[in-house]
Amino acid sequence: MKRILNLSIILTIILSLTFIPAVQTNAASKINITYYAGNGYFKSKPNRSKN
């Protein structure tokens, strides 16, 4: 179980690091990407409507 948790933490860190350079220019798109990764479409649609 500990090995599975460590692998999932490492994967999330790698994914977040890959998203950061592409998104630094626009904070709104960063919010959309983080909500896509975390909650799917449920919370990304209200953020898109704000733009």
Structural domain span for residue 20: 2-50
What does pTM read for this prediction? 0.35
Please report the pLDDT score of residue 51 as a whole number.
46
Could you read off the pLDDT of 4-47 as tens digits, one per residue? 888 888 888 777 766 665 555 555 555 555 555 555 554 444 44
How many structural domains compose the chain?
1
Q: At what angle do helices 27-39 and 2-23 cross, to 10 degrees?
A: 160
Q: d(Cα 27, Cα 4) in Å, to the nearest integer?
A: 32
